[in-house]
A and B are shown apart, each in its own frame.
Chain A
Amino acid sequence: MFFKEINHYGDLGLILDFGSDSSQQISQEVNAICALLQDLDLPQLNVIPSFNKIVLSFQNTKNRNQAQDIIERKLAKINLAKSQKDQKLWNIPSCYEDNYALDRELIQSVHGLTKEEVISKHTGVSYYAYYIGFMPGFPYLGDIDPSLITPRLTTPRIQIPARSIGIAKEHTCVYPKVSPGGWNIIGQVPFDIFNLEHSRTSLFLPGDTVQFQSVSEKEFQQIQSKHFGLDEIIKEFSK
């Protein structure tokens, strides 16, 4: 058994608890178990992964209790290695120039870094997509270079531009749409990462690997002007 406990959450919910620690390895287990749960054909309404928990919700208590029985029986003897689903590897063009990086100078001064250092540190790591939350298609990516770790803004912004790349604590993110939020904004991606018309819906899915690649403002605007759909983004920028 990979999770430590399975508990009730009200009369319609279950929580699979993987303990209080958070790491990429724990998250990989969380996401692998989520994939397994989807395949078990349980009568669930939602399966919600996060760093070290999975929450499931059901239509009624009877469904919940049946699902709990099945989960306890099936997951006791599962081989997790076999159940990993194919995950995508992203190489996402991003622009760190002033117009798109509201807080880059703040990050530079907090950590005593140059603009080039911030960019090379943010693009120098491939990030793991822990889970999608906060708003539709919003990925929690990590972990960032320790020298970039910065708390959230003390006063959250009322409006963060759509497609902005943020950092907060050990994580980095992309805002799919205009939104209020407290992450430090250091760049922007040139296309939409959430699309209701596409079967994938969200460009990034839990378990994906995401690498950002710095592009000039000119290149950024060129990509932007192509108005890529999700299929084209997948073709051009993922493996």
Chain B
Amino acid sequence: MNTFRVTRTGTYLTVQDWGRFHYQHLGVSPSGIMDQRIPQALTKVIPHHQNQFLEFAYVGPSLKVEQGAIKVSVGGQCNIFVQKNNNTQIEHEPYTSINLFEGDEINIHNTIDSVYGYIAFENGLGLEPCLQSFSTDIKAQIGSINRPIQIGDEFKISEDVRSWDLQSNKEVNISKQTNFKVYPGPQLNYFSDEVLQTFISNPFSITTQSDRMGLRLEGEALKSHISHDILSEGILPGSIQVPSEGQLIILMRDIPCTGGYPKIAILASEDISKIAQLPPGTKITFDL
């Protein structure tokens, strides 16, 4: 058995995969990885990750191997240090494989000019799926682990690492983008041409009130000439909804299943990963 323990959680540490599907009609959110580009890039380094990733926001965790050995790789822009059993410290690069043996502790520092980071584990984290997915939905308390990871949590990986050869993915190209071309939302016609002009010609700032459920933006208020209260209907990640005070909310992976605000636009699906990485204070613009 190969065992590691969480010795420091960092922030918002959860287990995620590509999403929980086929249950949204029962009120269950898809959840899943916020920036899918990173685990995709990690797949080249750790191919047998079993779709069980740890996701953190802003500050990464520390993990200590208690028994046996594990192989991991960290993705995202962050500094990674391994405290070896013999008290030496080694720095590692993101998107390289890191072999950790009994007594070794990996410390992942804060994400630089970005939000989310990921850890992939060879042979996964030894978890059972919940409703066909490993993802954690904290609010609904659904997941293989139905809460954020806590200090002292222990993971047991029964399968041993196949090869200690070092791998790395040198092709990673995770660009930063702040202008987003969007599709018309289902209630585009709730907004006058003048309001739409404001929408595409003004910047909006990402605020600190942003999380896995949604990004709240701050900018010129957008008012509907019809209503800000619609009969609740199914919503998808990336939707840009406009509540009555006129400040935009972009719905992210832990989406509520239905919503009652008009949606002016929706992001291209691949842009959800990109916008998730923009820290609060970033100014973004839209193109319709």
Contacts and interface: CB of A to CB of B under 8 A. Distances in A.
Complex A-B, nearest 7 residue pairs according to Cβ-Cβ distance, in ascending order: A55-B234, A48-B234, A10-B266, A133-B258, A46-B24, A45-B21, A53-B233
Contacts of A34: 25
A205 B26 CA distance: 8
A22 interface: yes
A46 B268 CA distance: 18
A212 B142 CA distance: 28
Contacts of A15: 186, 233-234
20 contacts: A9-B236, A10-B266, A45-B21, A46-B23, A47-B24, A48-B24, A48-B25, A51-B232, A53-B234, A55-B233, A57-B236, A132-B25, A132-B27, A133-B258, A135-B139, A136-B142, A177-B141, A196-B142, A201-B131, A202-B27
A20 B190 CA distance: 13
A131 interface: yes
A214 interface: no
A42 to B, nearest CB: 12
Contact of A131 (B30, B130, B141, B258): B258
Contacts of B94: none
Interface of B: 19, 21-28, 30, 130-131, 139-142, 183, 186, 231-236, 238-239, 256-258, 266-269
Given A10-B267, A136-B142, A22 B231 contact: yes
A52 interface: yes
Given A34-B25, A46-B24, A9 B257 contact: no
State the majority secondary structure of interface residues on B. loop
Nearest to A16: B234
Given A133-B258, A136-B140, A46 B25 contact: yes
Interface string A203-227: 0011000000000000000000000
A39 to B, nearest CB: 14
A137 B234 contact: no
A8 interface: yes
A50 B26 contact: no
Contacts, number: 109
Given A48-B25, A202-B26, A206-B25, A135 B140 contact: yes
A49 interface: yes
Given A135-B140, A196-B142, A201-B23, 14 more contacts: A8-B183, A10-B236, A12-B269, A15-B186, A45-B22, A47-B24, A48-B24, A48-B25, A48-B234, A133-B256, A133-B258, A136-B27, A137-B26, A138-B27
A48 B21 contact: no
Contacts of A133: 27, 232, 256-258
A10 B264 CA distance: 11
A80 B67 CA distance: 60
A40 to B, nearest CB: 14
Nearest to A179: B139
Contacts of B256: 133-134
Interface in A36-93: 45-55, 57
Interface residues of A, number: 38
B269 A50 contact: no
A13 interface: yes
A196 B142 CA distance: 8
Given A8-B183, A9-B266, A136 B231 contact: no
B120 to A, nearest CB: 21
A50 B183 contact: no
B226 to A, nearest CB: 11
Contacts of A137: 26-27
A205 B19 CA distance: 22
B259 to A, nearest CB: 9
Contact of A49 (B23, B25, B141): B25
A137 B231 CA distance: 19
A134 B234 contact: no
A55 B257 CA distance: 10
B183 A10 contact: yes
Nearest to A201: B26
A48 B257 contact: yes
A8 B26 CA distance: 23
Contacts of B24: 46-48, 57
